[in-house]
Amino acid sequence: MKNTAFEILKSMSLLYVEDDAETREELVMMLKPWVGELYIAADGQAGLDLYREKIPDIVVTDIQMPQLSGLAMSAEIQHINPEQLIVIVSAYNDVEYLFRAIELGIGHYITKPLNVNRLLEKLAQLANIHLALKERRQNQILLEQYKNLVDQSAIVCKIDLNGKISYVNDKLCKISGFTRQEMLGQDIAFLHYEQERGEEWSQAVSGQKWSGISHNRTKQGTGYIVERSIVPVIIESGEITEIIVLDVNINPFFDNYEHVSVSLELSNSSLQEQRHFLAEYKRALELGTCVCFVDCNLHILSINQPFEQLLGYTSAEITGKSVEQIIPNLSDRDNLVNILSDSLEELNSRIICFSTCNGAALQFRVSCVALHEMTGEIKSVIMICHDISEYHRLSLDIVQSQRDLLYMMGDVVESRSEETGQHVRRVAMISRFLALKVGLDQETANMIEAAAPMHDIGKVGIRDAVLNKPGQLDNLEYKEMMRHAEIGHVILSKVKRPLIKLASVIAQQHHERWDGKGYPNGLSGEQIHIAGRIVSIADVLDALSTERIYKPAWSEQSVRDYFLVQRGEQFDPNLIDLLLTHWEAIQDLRNGITTI
């Protein structure tokens, strides 16, 4: 964690709630030098009262306390502030409470006994998150101001996909003479002087932007001229949700067009104003945005001052150099080439990693706009770069917190069944390996690795006498043990987050069989989720290869023979082929010789 994160922490206020006096006093002494303001409470009710009074930046709370539990207090705090940063301090046997914390949306956990260094790192991380949330709120306010500015300065109209008017602003009401009620629900042609849809409509509904001159009508029947931009609103799935029409009234220019001499004077004045505003826009762009100009061969023409400050280069130092100087990763440069090969008439963007003069990595969202010659050929390209490094790091931190929690709860289950906690880690690594080999993308493989440790979470609902029986289970005991798949699914399905939902599927399906003879639902073949099929193999491989309370470890050859026999019976034949092809690499993973 960078020192700057700890400096940020020293400006933060923190509420610490703990009912054990000895633990509380010890931690208070440790925390005081590291936070700006420290508030202490001995139970949940006192903590809630103190929160309402002080509104601290971060809350750290134990779970089990008198009067009001830490979770009940946290739920009340989230009613007050849904974005409040809360750290739950829990013991390994608090699995039930941890699931409740997940349902509340709390994503930060520290286990007892408390490690001060780990707690400080977590708090420094949360200090950065708090700063990012504050910046996001400021950006939202700024965005609202921009929206209001557009609404006040332009004629705005929204249209649904059937061509019906769904929104008009006051400026359109004023210039047209129609009331809002008279326009809402009307066809867009209602506003046109000819009262017909123009060609721009078909272009907009196909997802293309349109700009041009339009002749509109007023309620009195007269016409007025606007410079029109029609922009379809397209969401991530590619679906068009609505169409926005922005008009600028240029009727006065047309009224004066007949008077040539006056028009020339106005044109000259207008040109001066345009030059002035162009300079103002350029100045605003220079101050507020990281900008890099490149030619069509990706050689740097110049960078602006904010970019210089972030990268540590001056514009003179890298002018004429290839973008390879600041974008060292080949795949990122390919991303940039893909942007330039797309139509630069529209704004295209990618996430690209830049390198500073000191070799540090910064994540940017890069959007490209072409600058054209008078002939229409592209002269150069503006790369508009927004630094998202901190948001990227915070996203990774949040994902890692969820992964740590899943591993911790997987350890709890394994320790209760008197099996080594390393089992869940080996199953996770093997699952990720097979996911990549079968052709799943990196993100999906990482999610399977993170969710796999929870495959046996349902064992928390199985009696110790059955779970830890040294010998073979009888028929009734085996039926009870089979219930753990459905119990795990029920526990995890209460949380709707994607990672936990995948863990729920794995918990339910990792004992299904390719031939349909498994449990709990008798699924077969590709009815079984690919994650369930993968974790099933990883689980059995590690279970057979490891000594358990009810059996010795099998030899490596016996394990291989078992998978050969069960290929196409218990297991997906394609996955078994991959397992046997990469057998040595997987054994190295299990033995900690290599990592992925």
* Phi, psi (degrees; rounded to nearest 5) at 62: -75, 165
Which of 306, 289, 283, 274 minimizes the C-alpha distance to 382? 289
pLDDT at 359: 86
Name the amino acid, one letter, at 550: Y
Asked if residue 79 lies in contact with residue 51, where contact means CB atoms within 8 angstroms, the answer is: no
In a domain, 263, yes or no: no
In a domain, 106, yes or no: yes
DSSP state of 246: E
Asked if residue 118 lies in contact with residue 92, where contact means CB atoms within 8 angstroms, the answer is: no
Q: Are residues 82 and 122 in the same domain?
A: yes
pLDDT at 298: 85
Asked if residue 231 lies in contact with residue 214, where contact means CB atoms within 8 angstroms, the answer is: no
Helices 422-437 & 573-581 angle (0-180, nearest 10): 100
Name the amino acid, one letter, at 63: I
Structure tokens, 13: 């206020």
Distance from C-alpha of 398 to C-alpha of 376, rounded to nearest angstrom? 47
In a domain, 334, yes or no: yes
**Where are any strands of DSSP class E within 356-495?**
361-372, 378-387
Q: Are residues 136 and 162 in the same domain?
A: no
Write out the chain's pLDDT in tens, 596 residues.
456 667 888 888 999 999 989 888 888 888 888 899 999 999 999 999 999 999 999 999 988 888 888 889 999 998 999 888 998 887 655 666 667 777 677 777 787 777 778 888 888 888 888 887 777 776 666 556 555 555 565 788 888 988 899 988 888 898 899 999 999 999 988 888 777 777 778 888 888 888 777 888 888 888 888 878 888 888 767 788 888 888 877 766 555 444 433 444 444 444 455 455 445 444 444 444 677 888 878 888 888 888 888 888 888 888 889 888 888 888 777 767 766 665 445 555 677 888 888 888 888 877 777 666 666 677 777 777 777 766 556 555 555 555 555 655 655 555 444 444 578 888 989 999 999 999 998 888 988 988 888 888 888 778 878 877 777 888 898 888 899 899 888 888 877 778 888 989 999 999 999 999 999 999 999 999 999 999 999 999 998 998 876 678 899 999 999 999 999 999 999 999 999 999 999 999 888 766 55
pLDDT at 277: 45
Q: What angle do CA 474, 420, 483 make, to 5 degrees?
A: 35
Q: Of 334, 359, 387, which one is at a domain's C-terminal end?
A: 387
In a domain, 269, yes or no: no
Neighbour tally for 142: CB within 10 Å: 10
Distance from C-alpha of 128 to C-alpha of 391, rounded to nearest angstrom? 10
Which of 356, 456, 370 minimizes the C-alpha distance to 409? 456
Q: What angle do CA 335, 341, 344 make, to 5 degrees?
A: 105
pLDDT at 447: 87
Which of 298, 364, 307, 304 minimizes the C-alpha distance to 325? 298
Task: Answer positive or negative: Cα dihedral of 480, 482, 485, 486.
Answer: negative
Q: How many residues does the chain have?
A: 596
In a domain, 596, yes or no: no
* Phi, psi (degrees; rounded to nearest 5) at 552: -80, 170
Q: Are residues 361 and 408 in the same domain?
A: no
Q: Of 357, 387, 417, which one is at a domain's C-terminal end?
A: 387
Structure tokens, 116: 């001060």
pLDDT at 397: 56
Structure tokens, 522: 């008798």
Q: Are residues 168 and 136 in the same domain?
A: no
pLDDT at 22: 87
Q: Are residues 413 and 546 in the same domain?
A: yes
Looking from the CA of 466 toward its CB, the CA atoms found within 13 Å total 16
Beta bridge partner(s), residue 231: 244
Asked if residue 300 lies in contact with residue 320, where contact means CB atoms within 8 angstroms, the answer is: yes
Beta bridge partner(s), residue 451: none
Q: Of 340, 363, 387, which one is at a domain's C-terminal end?
A: 387
Q: Are residues 307 and 448 in the same domain?
A: no
Asked if residue 60 lies in contact with residue 49, where contact means CB atoms within 8 angstroms, the answer is: no
Neighbour tally for 280: CB within 10 Å: 10
Say if strands 300-303 and 210-217 run parallel, antiparallel, or are unpaired. Answer: unpaired
Distance from C-alpha of 445 to C-alpha of 565, rounded to nearest angstrom? 27
pLDDT at 405: 58
Structure tokens, 257: 């067009």
Neighbour tally for 559: CB within 10 Å: 19
Asked if residue 82 lies in contact with residue 56, where contact means CB atoms within 8 angstroms, the answer is: no
In a domain, 532, yes or no: yes
Structure tokens, 338: 């893909």
Give the H or E element holding residue 80: helix 70-80
* Phi, psi (degrees; rounded to nearest 5) at 260: -60, -45
Q: Are residues 435 and 320 in the same domain?
A: no
- What total number of domains does the chain contain? 4
In a domain, 499, yes or no: yes
Q: Are residues 397 and 248 in the same domain?
A: no
Q: Are residues 95 and 209 in the same domain?
A: no
**CATH code: domain of residue 375:** 3.30.450.20
Which of 87, 93, 58, 108 minimizes the C-alpha distance to 402? 108
In a domain, 215, yes or no: yes
Which of 109, 15, 9, 6 minimizes the C-alpha distance to 53? 15
Give this prediction's pTM: 0.48
Q: Are residues 128 and 180 in the same domain?
A: no
Distance from C-alpha of 537 to C-alpha of 544, rounded to nearest angstrom? 11
Task: Tell me what percent of the chain is helix, strand and coil, each rounded to the nearest 5.
Answer: 55, 20, 30
Residue ranges making up the domain that contains 570: 393-590
**CATH code: domain of residue 542:** 1.10.3210.10
Say if strands 37-41 and 13-17 run parallel, antiparallel, or are unpaired. Answer: parallel
Which of 153, 175, 258, 155 minimizes the C-alpha distance to 266? 258
**CATH code: domain of residue 67:** 3.40.50.2300
Which of 424, 472, 471, 429 minimizes the C-alpha distance to 449? 429
Q: Output the CA–CA distances (angstroms, integers) from residue 583 to 124, 433, 521, 563, 577, in the order listed.
A: 42, 11, 30, 11, 10
Distance from C-alpha of 159 to C-alpha of 464, rounded to nearest angstrom? 64
Q: Are residues 198 and 123 in the same domain?
A: no
Q: Are residues 134 and 159 in the same domain?
A: no
Beta bridge partner(s), residue 215: 225
Give the H or E element holding residue 589: helix 583-590
